[in-house]
A and B are shown apart, each in its own frame.
Chain A
Amino acid sequence: MSTPVLAAHAVTKHYRLGKREIPVLRGVDLTLQAGERLALLGASGAGKSTLLHVLGLLDQPTSGQVCFDGRPVHDLPIAERARLRHAHTGFVFQFYHLIPELTALQNVLLARMMASSMTGYWRQRGAARAAAKALLEQVGLGDRLHHRPAELSGGERQRVAIARALLAEPRVILADEPTGNLDSHTAAGVVDLMFSIQQQRGIALLLVTHNEDLARRCDRIVRMQDGVVLAEPTGT
């Protein structure tokens, strides 16, 4: 088996709540192969989102390792982690998390601005705009480029978020219940879109959900309960 693009080894995570230590992850091992579509299932409070944040380097594990391409990355300096996050991972959140002051196009473009300097961005701004427009057209929002998030429906907002996650051409997409806030019809459209792009580009997708139907459409299902992974791997 090739080196997994993203892997967690014996990851634990504790939160302090006042004087108490609350364990959220209690030793999680998880691998994500390149191009793989993995569903992470579990009840609320099982630690799915926390694991997602740890894998996405937004959060640091209390103990254990997070490896990217086999290289441990969890204890890199904060700026270095930010750079990796930008270059290799795209996030899609349940609540879209778009910046309300920016138009759809600007929200997507933001992903290109994160790592480049002002002059660097200025030189490639044409290309960046073209890429962002192409992506928005691909997600079906070619006619809504200049709308603010407040003027978009929930499904449209999530499409913008997907486009944003894709613009930096990541190798992994971490999606945290991307359809949790959408009606079933819209949700189906968003999921189809996400899966087709994922397949088309060969990106690894980690999908956190508690929708069994959705999970079954993935390559592999991992179940979590009380901070541990129950069954891994099962394969299909």
Chain B
Amino acid sequence: MIAAFSPFVALRYLLARRISLLAMLGVTFAVWSMILVNSVFTGFVGEIRADVRRGTAELLLTDLPLDTGYEPLRAALEADPAVAATAPRLRHHGLLQPLRTPTGRGPAAAAAELQFDHTESGFALLLGIDPLREGEVTPLRQWLERSTEVFAVHGAALEPSRVLDEPDPARREQLLVPDEVEWLARRRAGLRVDHARTAHHSTWPGVLLGWRRAYHMGWLREGDAFDLLTAASVPTADGGARMTTFRARMAFAGWFATGYRSFDENTVLVPIETLRTILGHDRADPQGIDLVTDVAIRLQPDLAPRDAAAAVRRLEDRAQAALPPGSPPCRVLDWQQQNIVFLGAVATEQAMMQFVLFVVMLVAAFVIYAVLHMMVVQKWKDVGILASLGGTPRAIGAVFVLCGLVTGTLGSALGTGLGVLSAQNLNTVNDWLFATCGVELFPRSLFDLQQVPVRLETSWLLLVAIAAIALSLLVALLPARKAARMNPVQALAHE
């Protein structure tokens, strides 16, 4: 039971002091800034996660043993009712060497400098895809179209690649550029061209490059020649293996942009058959298998999360059964598990940011504490008066707890309201400020986006609001306890 005088006196104390307004404003400010900054950060993280999601297959069967064929796995996986489609993937590594003019940039490595990422050096994580099937599991066409939008942001007009519109599936499978384009590219590179322009048939398989390579490779023209250099281990007659180097001439077929930064930087999409040929599994070779290192899987849409989780385990078992006995365990990874390091880093960053934000709230709680502490000191005598009138220590303590609670609640409510309002209108304000004063509150270049991404999460709003109130309550308890424990006789004598 709260005695009637506690809220009554608490309210009068608060109303009589301008300083309690300051405490409330402190809380308001803290809550407001926490909501605003975090909503921008959450929006940013959400944007990043959406990009990662776009650049990743829904599920990926991986950790397969060497020399695994696609067909048995495809049969096993597609037999599952939850699976909508699968596509083969073959990962390898290599070096992409542009071939523009015969006198170009010198020998293969001459241009190489010591770098910490792969982009500038020409290193590439080769991802062999089957262009006929890939679109079933990932938005491949969207990746190509999106590159046009991304370049538009950077002020370059580029048509999206046409390789997926090639009517002949045999040519599409090789990502071949149109005959005339390749003929021109050969001429540009100073290569001998046997046929007339119209009689030429494209033979160079296409490569699709992540748009971020454009920073270092410059503006390539469709059909520009590349040498793909790589090494792979090839079985020897005595049953061992020997590293062998390979070179394949390929044609630039277009840019792609998933938005997932490290994917766009490091990965190069090549036709899976080209890689298979390099790795000694030519389709023409009767001994060859349709080699894969992973299988990308798309589940049926509208599958409940629980069913999807069950499907992952089921698919793992199915795939394992399709592998030779004694194979190490394979795994089926969802899109988050496939990018666990990067997403983990992003999550940690967000957690750090939220931690720093809570320091803000802590300081705001200090304000309440200071104000209440001071109030108790000033109201020393009142405590004695209330005691002499028959107030119990609890009820006297409650006066100050209520002061803190009211301050915290009002501040928190006001801050939440302001936070939501300003988050929703952030882009308007940002644009307006930029237009009128030339100041950018949240620089767009920071985000590489047209708009500052903002995402309000109800759970965060609740967390901040409740934490602010709880913290106010907590810091109010200390002065309140002090008041409750006071000796009323001494309090009355206090001057």
Chains A and B share a contact (CB less than 8 Å): yes
Q: Please give the residue numbers on chain A whose beta carbons come within 8 Å of chain B beta carbons, in ascending order.
A: 50, 53, 56, 58-59, 78-79, 82-87, 91, 93, 97-99, 101-102, 106, 110-118, 120-122, 164, 168
Given A56, A84, A97, A106, which contacts B381 in the complex, CB threshold below 8 Å?
A97
Judging by beta carbons under 8 Å apart, are A117 and B390 in contact? no
Judging by beta carbons under 8 Å apart, are A118 and B2 in contact? yes
Judging by beta carbons under 8 Å apart, are B489 and A83 in contact? no
A112 surroundings in chain B (CB, below 8 A): 4
Q: Can you report 19 A-B residue pairs in the complex whose CB atoms are below 8 A from each other?
A: A53-B489, A56-B388, A58-B388, A59-B489, A78-B393, A82-B387, A97-B388, A102-B12, A110-B9, A110-B389, A111-B390, A112-B4, A113-B4, A113-B5, A117-B3, A118-B3, A118-B7, A164-B389, A168-B389
Judging by beta carbons under 8 Å apart, are A91 and B4 in contact? no
Q: Nearest residue in B to A107 (C-beta to C-beta)?
A: B385
Given A79, A106, A114, which contacts B389 in the complex, CB threshold below 8 Å?
A114
For the complex, what is the distance from the CA of A78 to the CA of B391, rounded to whole Å? 10
Q: Nearest residue in B to A78 (C-beta to C-beta)?
A: B393
For the complex, what is the distance from the CA of A121 to the CA of B12, rounded to whole Å? 17
Question: Does B394 touch A at the CB level, under 8 Å?
Answer: yes
Q: Please give the residue numbers on chain B whose beta carbons come within 8 Å of chain A beta carbons, in ascending order.
A: 1-5, 7-9, 12-13, 15-16, 381-382, 384-395, 487-489, 492
For the complex, what is the distance from the CA of A9 to the CA of B381, rounded to whole Å? 30
B391 surroundings in chain A (CB, below 8 A): 82, 86, 114
What's the nearest-Cβ distance from chain A to residue B186, in Å? Answer: 91
For the complex, what is the distance from the CA of A161 to the CA of B391, rounded to whole Å? 16
B487 surroundings in chain A (CB, below 8 A): 59
Decide: A79 near B393, CB < 8 A? Known: A58-B388, A113-B8.
Answer: yes
Q: Nearest residue in A to B16 (C-beta to C-beta)?
A: A101
For the complex, what is the distance from the CA of A84 to the CA of B392, rounded to whole Å? 10
B492 surroundings in chain A (CB, below 8 A): 58, 93, 97
For the complex, what is the distance from the CA of A84 to the CA of B384, rounded to whole Å? 16
Main secondary structure of the interface of B (DSSP, over half): helix
What's the nearest-Cβ distance from chain A to residue B18, in Å? Answer: 13
For the complex, what is the distance from the CA of A58 to the CA of B390, rounded to whole Å? 9
A106 surroundings in chain B (CB, below 8 A): 8, 12
Q: Nearest residue in B to A121 (C-beta to C-beta)?
A: B4
For the complex, what is the distance from the CA of A168 to the CA of B388, rounded to whole Å? 12
What's the nearest-Cβ distance from chain B to residue A106, in Å? Answer: 7
B387 surroundings in chain A (CB, below 8 A): 58, 82, 85
Judging by beta carbons under 8 Å apart, are B390 and A101 in contact? no
Given A84, A93, A110, which contacts B5 in the complex, CB threshold below 8 Å?
A110
What's the nearest-Cβ distance from chain A to residue B381, in Å? Answer: 7
A53 surroundings in chain B (CB, below 8 A): 489
B384 surroundings in chain A (CB, below 8 A): 58, 97
Judging by beta carbons under 8 Å apart, are A117 and B489 in contact? no
Judging by beta carbons under 8 Å apart, are B394 and A114 in contact? no
Judging by beta carbons under 8 Å apart, are A99 and B3 in contact? no
A120 surroundings in chain B (CB, below 8 A): 4
A86 surroundings in chain B (CB, below 8 A): 389-391
Judging by beta carbons under 8 Å apart, are B13 and A113 in contact? no
B488 surroundings in chain A (CB, below 8 A): 58-59
Judging by beta carbons under 8 Å apart, are B392 and A79 in contact? yes
B12 surroundings in chain A (CB, below 8 A): 99, 101-102, 106
Judging by beta carbons under 8 Å apart, are B390 and A82 in contact? yes
Q: Nearest residue in B to A115 (C-beta to C-beta)?
A: B390
Given B390, B393, B394, which contacts A168 in the complex, CB threshold below 8 Å?
B390
For the complex, what is the distance from the CA of A156 to the CA of B145, rounded to whole Å? 86
Given A84, A97, A101, which contacts B13 in the complex, CB threshold below 8 Å?
A101
B385 surroundings in chain A (CB, below 8 A): 97-99
What's the nearest-Cβ distance from chain A to residue B153, in Å? Answer: 60
Given A82, A111, A122, which contacts B392 in the complex, CB threshold below 8 Å?
A82
Judging by beta carbons under 8 Å apart, are A91 and B392 in contact? no
A118 surroundings in chain B (CB, below 8 A): 2-4, 7
What's the nearest-Cβ distance from chain A to residue B376, in Å? Answer: 14
For the complex, what is the distance from the CA of A85 to the CA of B382, rounded to whole Å? 16
For the complex, what is the distance from the CA of A79 to the CA of B391, rounded to whole Å? 8
What's the nearest-Cβ distance from chain B to residue A145, in Å? Answer: 16
Q: Nearest residue in B to A170 (C-beta to C-beta)?
A: B390
What's the nearest-Cβ distance from chain A to residue B149, in Å? Answer: 61
Judging by beta carbons under 8 Å apart, are A117 and B386 in contact? no
B15 surroundings in chain A (CB, below 8 A): 101
